[in-house]
Amino acid sequence: MVSLAEVRTPLLALHKSLVDAERREFERQRGRLENAEFLKVLMEGPQFAWLKPLTALIVRLDEALEDNQDGAAAIDELRRLLAPDEHGSVFQQRYAEVLQRSPDAVVDHGRTLRALREVRA
């Protein structure tokens, strides 16, 4: 069994892999951005809005850890969200696409799912 805190590390790595993959694709189409410019696009750009459900769940997990609360609901929601599905939610559709083109995201996906299977919230 792993703790709720131990889910956070692979989850953050997965989030970073997804952002990195989307940045590469974005910059391939539109040209290189400085980090500050990219951060603005990441936070405000509609092409990155699909990542918001995952970001929100990371925040919920952090809040549960900080307040020493049960994070079971956030864990259950993460398990549902991290199921790539070309016919699922917008997140699941885009997630499936990124997993097809990013080996790093695939590795981090596997690590995260392993941690989620073993978590005790």
> Taking 80 as the threshold, does the pLDDT of residue 1 lie above it?
no
10-39 pLDDT, tens digit each: 999 999 999 999 999 999 999 999 999 999
Tell me the whole-structure pTM to 2 decimals: 0.92
User: In this structure, which amino acid lies at residue 88?
Assistant: G
65-78 pLDDT, tens digit each: 999 888 888 899 99
What is the reported pLDDT for 121?
58
Rounded to 5°, angle at Cα 84 from 50 and 16: 55
Structure tokens at 29: 């189409």
Residue ranges per domain, the chain? 2-120
Backbone angles phi, psi at 119, to 5 degrees: -75, 145
- For residue 108, count other CB atoms closer than 10 A to its CB: 21
